[in-house]
Structure 1
Amino acid sequence: MKILSVYNQYFGHIPGRMVKLLLLVVLLTGIASCKKSYLDVVPDNVATLDNVFANRTEAEKYLFTCYSYLPQEGNPDKNPGFSGGDEAWTYWPMTEDYFFLDPYNIARGEQNRADPYMNYWDQFDNRNLWQGIRTCNIFLENIDRVADLQPYIKLRWIAEAKFIKAYLHWYLFRMYGPIPILDKNPPITANPGVFKVFRQPADSVVNYIAKLIDEAAAGDANTGLPSTITSTTTELGRITKVAALAIKARVLVTAASPLFNGNNDFAGFKGVDDKLLFNPQYDAKKWTRAANACKIAIDAAAAAGRKLYYFSSTDVAVDDATKIEMNIRNAICEKWNNELIWGLTSEAAASTFWLQQYACPQIDPDNINLSLKGKLAPPLKMAELFYTKNGVPIEEDKTWNYADRFKLRTVTNLDTWMQEGYQTVGLHFEREPRFYADLAFDGSTWFMHNGNYNIQSKSEQYTGKKQSRLYSVTGYYTKKVVNWNLVYSKTNVTIESYPWPVMRLGDLYLLYAEALNETGNPAAALPYLNQIRARAGLKSVESSWATYSTNPTKYTTVAGLRDIIRQERGIEMAFEGSRFWDLRRWKTAPQVLSAPIYGWDIIQSTYEDYNRRVLLFTPKFVAPRDYFWPIKETDLQVNPNLVQNPGW
């Protein structure tokens, strides 16, 4: 099955403007829900508030409309974190096999202010996030009109709508920086000047989002959000108290990070109303606030039974190395596993379904199926990010041959996760389990539920490039995001979709470790890092650095542990859409995202020729411009109270 580019003719950018949005009548024409427009179910096609909030059933449909605005973060064409940075690359140009080219254009430095890519401010993927916020406001303003709604259900629904409203503000804030706050819908009879809103200071936006999440998470299980979903057949994917608290932690860690805390790059950035939109003064209390939020979320997760995932199987016997590999892969891909804090289910079949098709290459030489694209290709810099088997960076391990990492070696029976007798570069030897769990490459193996497969991707081999599409441009494949239950034949592919992990416990542990370290308490951060490492088959930070690193005391200082935490986070959260945002909030993007993109010489057929580095692209991250999206020029013309982001 091909993803035809004609899709874009029907679901491309639909122009929208802020003021036009705010002047819409209270009933939103053409809102797309998960299945169809809500208005399709209104009697006689007459949409009125009396119809929408006539009873519990109709009101719940409207609540689901609020959910429908959540972006599809599990789709690599709809989440900038997948394909908008340097974590995965692809062949270019693409003439098919895509929904949107927007993230790929962002990665290649083509963002613009005339018609911005992935423009969730106006409309992208049939989603205008401001319209989603307006929908939440309509729900909150009218839920009291539902006569047959039990009080505890009403309180829960109000909490859900408040959280979604907060999350949509958060999504826009992360993309655009200081944004307007739309807490209430102005009446349509209001003075037109009311609709010409101003951008609010970054700290004010963060405080508003945090306050709204606090309101959503308040109360006990009988007066607001549940701690866990008990109706698993009908409610999985809906917001829980734990999910709300974890997202608040993420918001506050971001707000405490260098991009928003003591950032002089935006020191003179003001609104039309002369408000300073960024506070250039560093505030250590932001990290304390973030650490407290993380701890509250972790405690709530523990009380709800969330814990780090460990693989177990009753129908397939696996060795210890494979168990560790599946600890890592199935923490993402096993549906509703006990590490998942919030899994996104809206249109899930269309999100992780395509993600897996994009990621999985031809792994079976006896069954070639062109539905498997294998095009979501990590560059060589991602392969170099992972630790050695000793749990330290490859350039720091005094026992690992860093200088000869690009020289060929032959795989022996002592080398796990690779094909005995095969030749590949030293970079692929004696690496940590997450390297082999996340990545596949020429000479590696790929474990699936129905067997273990060999990856052979030199020119004309079954996994490699054979035509102008459906191949890895770097020679690496993103194994981590492919569910081990995927099976295929020459004529059919069966993919088990899974809820995309917007937040999982491992992510929350890493956020807490980061916040603890930044508050001057590196020793308290180590246990959370070490739990992540133990699950991945590694020894503690203390043991690994003391024994193998050329800088054995690195973890004992805040600055040293900061580097360790950031690399640990880069490895553990690889290919989950986190790196794109982390590099920005840490303000390391100008260096990291301007580094060249390298791959292997995939059109070659011999070991020697294939295993040569090839420069694919040299991106350029322009600071401070590229930290945030531009606001579309026409929006600024319609509402002169908005100001453009610096550099655009």
Structure 2
Amino acid sequence: MYCCMKKNYGWICFAFVAVIFTVSSCKKAFEDKPLELLTIDFIFDQNDPTGDQAYKWVTNIYSKIPSGYNRMLGGSSLGVSSSVRTNISLVPLECFSDDAVPSADGNEAWNIIRGGYSPLITFDDNWGNCYSAIRAANIFLNYYQQVPWADSSRKVWLPNEARALRAYFYYELIRRYGGVPLLGDKVFDSNDPELLKLKRNSFEECVNYIVAELDMAKDSLRPDASLAGRTTDADFGKMRKSIALAIKAKVLLLAASPLFNPSPTPDRSYTGYPSYNAERWKAAADAAKALIDLGIYDLEPNRYTLMLQRANKEHIFFRMSDPRIDNSYSYYMSPPGYKPANRNSEGRVSPTQEFVDAFPMKNGKAITDPSSGFTASNPYAGRDPRLDQSVFYNGAKWLQRPVEIFEGGRDKPNDVTLAAVQTQTGYYAKKFCANDSSSANYTTTFFRDGGFVPPWCIIRYADILLMYAEAQNEYAGPDAAVYAAVAKIRQRAGLSPFALPPGLSQDQMRDAVRNERRIELAFEEQRFWDIRRWKIAKTVYGTALHGVTITKNTNGTFSYSPKVVTTPYFTDAMYLFPIAIKETQVNRSMEQNPGY
């Protein structure tokens, strides 16, 4: 269980190695006691009123939060740690959704796209990572009171941080696997025979536990900072009431969604609730509204601010780290014809035509609407400004020249001797790059994890607004509050008019909200999970995905011809991830997900 039984001690070793690392820098002599006891005694030192080592213990748990951007490895193993990542093969999670595919062909990412995943060939497997974090939280909760805390606020904040972090890691587990074993506060010894007998709790039990833990912790965390305070707060990003509320809203929205709240056919397996219950949508809406009502977050007027400033009006929960200044991410994503400072750009990600077509015209109308003004001969003119912020398309301005993705163009030269990859779809991903259309070089941005990407935002205010709109619409229909939440997003985007048409049905509003989530939160690891919790992945992803072939005519115009890029493999079993075979073989009580 938890990647550690006898042959694999991953989740035990996380806590143990962290302790050993700390102890190695300590000059105390501990030769007279067993090492494990010494390490715990050192971290939770009964003679250290500062509690600094215990404080660092909690801080280290944050490092287990999964990052984003290009985190999925297309080489030897998907989703592995940064220490073993290769370069060009890294792709975002959206490359396994209907929004994009990897530009490079022939790597392991394509094996997953074309062949799926199994208990033997797992995908984004966070089982061991999450349980190691949960174990670390449990260790803290078991031992923190032996520290003679001089700072009484630490004694209150830190255990509730550990509790909230533990709840978050359970959320990471249940959205992948459904119901999982709940450990409570127990810290298992590696030789404990009970580890071999642990069974999965139901999804409902897990949700109830996570929500209860967040409710217990939320009012005893660090106080939320004002916008001005965030810019100078070194701990901005650590658990606050607003973050606990945001995670709670995420959990309850997952629980209310069709994957776990099917209608009208009840799902009585351990992965779901007993039957459909509309009140779950109300609970999710209420949770999102509680965060909105705090009144301490808002949308940033300029969406590029989100890429350039960690502390802003909109970021609620993000992965903390030690940042430095760099512009590497722009090189990773920009079309390969751009070589500022004599360094090749890589164009790693190819958005699909389905994703590009999801962006409406600037007047807010879908491109399929005959009155929208869309023209197939000039398909990118007059579109939602978020398209230009998310996608490199043919003719878009970048580094003082138009992007050339037509056949034989500088960004699709079709020269097999070039080391750089080329687009599979006629597009490259632009999201998270600075606004460098008129620049001579890529803008340096606020980067983290060795300079690869900006701090990874897990939940931002736009997400909360759309979560509220979705849940409220499912519970009460498209009332004024739903319209207002969506309009706020579309107004910031620059649509005119930004209001949705009056009189939409619940189904029409559902489609509108889902599309807003797709384009507003593009490449933020939302679409991958959304199409699963909505249970539409088999329809929108397990079908042909398209791109475009662009030909430059002799008169300087362009012709656009659709093409099929791939048909991903997707089965009903893949709505949940398989539990790795190493877990189920060691613990025969561990039930595998259906279909694997």
TM-score by length of 1: 0.77
Q: CA distance change for structure 1 residues 129 and 501 in 2, over 3 Å: closer, same or farther? A: same
Superposed CA offset, 1:345-404 (max 9, x none):
236669x9765443223575775522x211212111111011122212222343435xx6
Q: Does 1:578 align with 2:526?
A: yes
Corresponding residue to 1:455 among 381, 398, 403:
403
Q: CA distance change for structure 1 residues 239 and 23 in 2, over 3 Å: closer, same or farther? A: closer
Residue 341 of structure 1: aligned partner:
316
Q: CA distance change for structure 1 residues 184 and 92 in 2, over 3 Å: closer, same or farther? A: same
Q: CA distance change for structure 1 residues 587 and 23 in 2, over 3 Å: closer, same or farther? A: closer
Gaps of 5+ in 2: 73-78, 80-90, 448-453
Q: Does 1:205 align with 2:206?
A: yes
Aligned letter for 1:512?
A: Y
Q: Does 1:173 align with 2:168?
A: no
Contact 1:443-1:454 within 8 A present in 2 as well: yes
Cα offset, 1:93, TM superposition: 3.2
Corresponding residue to 1:504 among 432, 435, 460:
460
Residue 315 of structure 1: aligned partner:
none
How far apart, in 2, do the equivalents of 1:366 and 1:25 lie? Answer: 46
Contact 1:263-1:282 within 8 A present in 2 as well: yes
Q: Does 1:109 align with 2:65?
A: no
How far apart, in 2, do the equivalents of 1:638 and 1:201 lie? Answer: 21
Q: Does 1:16 align with 2:11?
A: no
Cα offset, 1:331, TM superposition: 3.4
Cα offset, 1:132, TM superposition: 1.1
Cα offset, 1:612, TM superposition: 2.3
Q: CA distance change for structure 1 residues 69 and 88 in 2, over 3 Å: closer, same or farther? A: same
Q: 1:377 is paired with a residue of what secondary structure?
A: strand
Q: 2:405 is paired with a residue of what secondary structure?
A: coil
Q: Does 1:89 align with 2:101?
A: yes
Alignment of 1:28-43 (within 5 A): 28-31=15-18, 37-43=21-27
Contact 1:213-1:248 within 8 A present in 2 as well: yes
Corresponding residue to 1:369 among 339, 343, 359:
343
Q: CA distance change for structure 1 residues 485 and 184 in 2, over 3 Å: closer, same or farther? A: farther
Aligned letter for 1:519?
A: Y
Cα offset, 1:215, TM superposition: 1.7
Superposed CA offset, 1:86-110 (max 9, x none):
2221234356xxxxx5x55433333
Cα offset, 1:26, TM superposition: 9.0
Superposed CA offset, 1:494-525 (max 9, x none):
55423222111111000001111111141221
Cα offset, 1:472, TM superposition: 2.4
Residue 309 of structure 1: aligned partner:
300
Contact 1:376-1:477 within 8 A present in 2 as well: yes
Q: CA distance change for structure 1 residues 233 and 373 in 2, over 3 Å: closer, same or farther? A: farther
Q: CA distance change for structure 1 residues 150 and 242 in 2, over 3 Å: closer, same or farther? A: same
Contact 1:348-1:500 within 8 A present in 2 as well: no
Residue 394 of structure 1: aligned partner:
367
Residue 321 of structure 1: aligned partner:
none
How far apart, in 2, do the equivalents of 1:397 and 1:257 lie? Answer: 33
RMSD: 3.3
Superposed CA offset, 1:542-584 (max 9, x none):
5x536xxxxxx4x2x2122111111121121112110011111
Gaps of 5+ in 1: 1-14, 96-100, 123-127, 270-275, 311-326, 409-425, 547-552
Aligned letter for 2:63?
A: S
Contact 2:3-2:582 within 8 A present in 1 as well: no
Cα offset, 1:482, TM superposition: 0.8
Aligned letter for 2:468?
A: Y
Residue 184 of structure 1: aligned partner:
185
Q: 2:373 is paired with a residue of what secondary structure?
A: coil
Aligned letter for 2:577?
A: W
Residue 60 of structure 2: aligned partner:
65
How far apart, in 1, do the equivalents of 2:410 and 2:339 lie? Answer: 6
Q: 1:502 is paired with a residue of what secondary structure?
A: strand
Cα offset, 1:59, TM superposition: 1.1
How far apart, in 2, do the equivalents of 1:635 and 1:59 lie? Answer: 31
TM-score by length of 2: 0.84
Contact 2:551-2:560 within 8 A present in 1 as well: no
Residue 527 of structure 1: aligned partner:
484
Q: Does 1:228 align with 2:179?
A: no
Cα offset, 1:195, TM superposition: 4.7
Residue 254 of structure 2: aligned partner:
254
Q: Does 1:561 align with 2:561?
A: no
Q: 1:613 is paired with a residue of what secondary structure?
A: strand
Question: Matched residue pairs, number?
Answer: 553
Aligned letter for 1:477?
A: Y
Contact 1:445-1:452 within 8 A present in 2 as well: yes
Corresponding residue to 2:382 among 430, 438, 444:
430
How far apart, in 2, do the equivalents of 1:637 and 1:265 lie? Answer: 32
Contact 1:31-1:37 within 8 A present in 2 as well: yes
Among the aligned pairs, what percent are the same residue? Answer: 29
Q: CA distance change for structure 1 residues 499 and 27 in 2, over 3 Å: closer, same or farther? A: closer
Aligned letter for 1:41?
A: S
How far apart, in 2, do the equivalents of 1:189 and 1:631 lie? Answer: 20
Superposed CA offset, 1:136-158 (max 9, x none):
10011111111144221121111
Q: CA distance change for structure 1 residues 452 and 532 in 2, over 3 Å: closer, same or farther? A: farther
Q: 1:309 is paired with a residue of what secondary structure?
A: coil
45-54 or 600-609, which moves further after superposition? 600-609
How far apart, in 2, do the equivalents of 1:531 and 1:476 lie? Answer: 29
Aligned letter for 1:346?
A: S
Contact 1:72-1:347 within 8 A present in 2 as well: no
Alignment of 1:485-500 (within 5 A): 494-497=444-447, 498-500=454-456
Cα offset, 1:534, TM superposition: 0.8
Contact 2:361-2:383 within 8 A present in 1 as well: yes
Aligned letter for 2:40?
A: L
Q: CA distance change for structure 1 residues 236 and 610 in 2, over 3 Å: closer, same or farther? A: farther
Q: 2:517 is paired with a residue of what secondary structure?
A: helix
